[in-house]
Structure 1
């Protein structure tokens, strides 16, 4: 096995470990089911009754289920079976039947060309070692005239703050590769020949103790993670607007929804 193959295998092992352990927490996390944020994504994707939608790295299926309420068919794909088990549970509880769940690789989607009207990915690009390849696959399976949507948190344009943010996130979740600045995400679309995306901004609020207790940090370093978050208040070191309030630290993940229409006739 080459060194690059070994690194890729190690990252995939981290993905399986982190998301198998986080599956139930993710499924029950209120911020993932925030109706305002889901409405923002659904409105941006604009699903219609004849549309087929695909959500890659779907996790517990929240976006896929939300799309299914408006689309003809909604498919969720994830690498982790534990996440898909939670997705099936949530879909059953919601009484949504026009959903399908597939286990697969975001770099080699198990679908033919141009078979989905909408292709989405929420809060997963920072886990991708090859984000351009994932976006290329999203574009491949999208019909001409279809919508390609990427949602993720973004790192600060200040390199020092971006580095501090990613250092904290890599400790908090070792399956993280990197949160990228907005300009980097926009450049991915341009390099794949996709039109400049429409950009919608929002924030995901967070609180230090909930972040710490819901995480599985590297080497179980909960104290180190707590200290990183606390220390970031000085000078807003991570670009997350961290502040002390009521004995804890409040902060927020700056996030974007990017929507591009694949060139060609619908």
Structure 2
């Protein structure tokens, strides 16, 4: 699975750097609204892709570490950080389920629109908790499946046809259970709509024509039609995913984090 993810996203790295859904989506704006970091904080952004979440927090903190398994994505992070004059962004090739960082290294651990690729999401949450400082914040944003098992299976099959490296989008209750099992304390959980332009969505994964045709058939038929609400808009076929924004905290206290004056 790791090599498949690296292949698919290595080919699409530049596209993801320019993708409005990832660079400017409403879930990113909401995440930065919910979290008020201290200037002394250190952030780890897991499966950073082109680094949009890391870059959003970097101007407000001491250091942002953008990690990903795909070297081409990390190259895009470095390019974008340089363009924006962000000297406190570093990159590290890393597996989300086996992080190469010491215990209690980061005040903030984020992961946005990537966890549905992880074969072992339980290990990802456990590793995130391990590298967090007591009192630190865990922030997860990801597409979520409906609670109904049959509908969730149909949705994940749709995603996997478009992108074979897709693992499974969990439901919101499943994520909350994993976070609880890792010993993290829930802070908030909400779900919001994310509109997706179909043509750009399939183009990013270089889908073949027959795959595009099959995806359209699935989108226009039940049970996915009722879930994803496809419709023609001024810029083409559009559908709507549901993205969860989940915040949790590691038990303990950050202690004195204010900068010295």
Matches within 5 A, 1:75-86: 75-86=65-76
1:100 to 90, 98, 101: 90
In the TM superposition, what is the alpha-carbon distance from 1:219 to its structure 2 partner? 9.4
> 1:165 matched to which residue of 2?
155
Deviation string 1:44-75 (CA, Å, 9 cap, x unpaired) is 23221010111010010111111101001110
Unaligned runs of 5+ in 1: 1-10
Q: Is the 8 A contact 1:189 1:197 kept in 2?
A: no
Query: In structure 2, how many angstroms separate the alpha carbons of the residues matched to 1:178 and 1:212?
Result: 18
Query: In structure 2, how many angstroms separate the alpha carbons of the residues matched to 1:113 and 1:247?
Result: 47
SS of 1:102's partner is: strand
In the TM superposition, what is the alpha-carbon distance from 1:112 to its structure 2 partner? 0.8
Deviation string 1:204-258 (CA, Å, 9 cap, x unpaired) is 21122222222234897232223222x24x4544622223446953211100110
Q: Is the 8 A contact 1:200 1:257 kept in 2?
A: yes
Equivalences, count: 254
2:241 to 253, 262, 266: 253
> 1:263 matched to which residue of 2?
251
Unaligned runs of 5+ in 2: 255-261
SS of 1:196's partner is: strand
Query: In structure 2, how many angstroms separate the alpha carbons of the residues matched to 1:43 and 1:93?
Result: 24
Q: Is residue 189 of structure 1 aligned with residue 179 of structure 2?
A: yes
TM-score (norm 1): 0.89
Q: Is the 8 A contact 1:161 1:238 kept in 2?
A: no
Give the alignment's Cα RMSD to 1 decimal. Answer: 2.0
TM-score (norm 2): 0.91
Identify which range, 245-254 or 177-186, moves more after superposition: 245-254
Deviation string 1:129-173 (CA, Å, 9 cap, x unpaired) is 100101111110100000011110101122232112111100111
Change (3 A) 1:174 1:220: farther
Q: Is residue 151 of structure 1 aligned with residue 141 of structure 2?
A: yes
